[in-house]
């Protein structure tokens, strides 16, 4: 069976990813700080007949992060799908936020995503198959005032865009999930705003379908997608120009070589 590793799997969107992947027949490696939450999710997943490994780790702690890195790099127990879902969202504006809370945001939302992806990709590329889901946020496009969390999610979007471009032809896919507000129970749903709140099961279904299609960005919900399509237009233009410039550079060396040969013949 294929194996998926899901971070932040003890509740919310991570638990939904775990449940869906177990139904699809994936063995699971579930990572989170909350052992009781992990055990609850793993018990549910095992009812689907899959093997579940529980790793209790705080990704903002060096020892916890290193342990998950080692698991991903273990070629004898390959991981076929990495879901970088764990995230920390601090409260308050940047100038008055606690410094250690801000550091935990960076360690979990940025450093852990980068290091876990780096640990997973070499084995996936070697095997010619695999996938990485990086859970970003709609806040990565339209941040609230003074919000460091939004800045980390903007990094996740750019990181995914950059690394996925290097995976063409490897059989490995990478996608950023740009989700808006979801009914995970983490935040109360205000009256009159329910249309903007998404069901997490539908978010996961759409994300995995987009990954299977080879897309690098998944934006569930037509309202969010309409805004992101508009905001993504300049980036798509820049990507196209970069590809054209790349082709031009690739064609340049032979022309230069021909010039050298002509000069030598003269």
**For 198, which DSSP code?**
B
Q: Which of 67, 59, 17 lies closest to 34, judged by CA?
A: 59
Q: List, edge to edge, every strand of the sheet that includes 27-32.
A: 52-56, 27-32, 3-7, 81-84, 130-135, 172-177, 217-218
Q: Is 143 helix (H, G, I), strand (E, B) or coil?
A: coil
Q: Which of 159, 162, 169, 107 lies closest to 136, judged by CA?
A: 159
Question: Would strands 3-7 and 81-84 be described as parallel, antiparallel, or unpaired?
Answer: parallel
Catalytic residue selected from 17, 138, 149, 224: 149
- Cα 114 from Cα 84, distance rounded (Å): 9
- Cα 260 from Cα 246, distance rounded (Å): 22
Is 224 in the active site?
A: no
Instruction: Give the catalytic positions in this structure.
Output: 149
């Amino acid at each position: 069976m294929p194996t998926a590793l899901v971070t932040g799997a003890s509740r919310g969107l991570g638990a939904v990813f775990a449940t869906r992947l177990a139904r699809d027949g994936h063995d699971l490696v579930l990572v989170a700080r909350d052992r009781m939450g992990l055990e609850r999710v793993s018990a549910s997943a095992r009812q689907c007949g899959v093997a579940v490994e529980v790793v209790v780790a705080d990704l903002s702690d060096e020892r916890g992060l290193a342990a998950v890195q080692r698991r991903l790099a273990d070629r004898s127990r390959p991981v076929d799908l990495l879901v970088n879902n764990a995230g920390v969202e601090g409260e308050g504006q940047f100038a008055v936020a606690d410094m250690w809370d801000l550091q935990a945001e960076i360690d979990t939302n940025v450093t852990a995503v980068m290091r876990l992806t780096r640990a997973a990709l070499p084995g996936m590329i070697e095997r010619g198959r695999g996938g990485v889901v990086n859970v970003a946020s709609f806040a990565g496009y339209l941040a609230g005032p003074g919000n460091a969390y939004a800045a980390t999610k903007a990094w996740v979007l750019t990181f995914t865009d950059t690394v996925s471009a290097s995976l063409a032809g490897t059989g490995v896919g990478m996608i950023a999930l740009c989700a808006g507000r979801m009914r995970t129970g983490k935040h109360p749903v205000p009256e009159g705003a329910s249309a903007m709140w998404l069901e997490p099961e539908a978010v996961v279904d759409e994300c995995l379908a987009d990954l299977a299609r080879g897309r690098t960005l998944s934006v569930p919900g037509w309202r969010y997608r309409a805004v992101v399509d508009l905001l993504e237009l300049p980036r798509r233009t820049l990507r196209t120009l970069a590809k054209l410039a790349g082709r031009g550079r690739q064609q340049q060396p032979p022309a230069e070589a021909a010039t050298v040969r002509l000069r030598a013949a003269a």
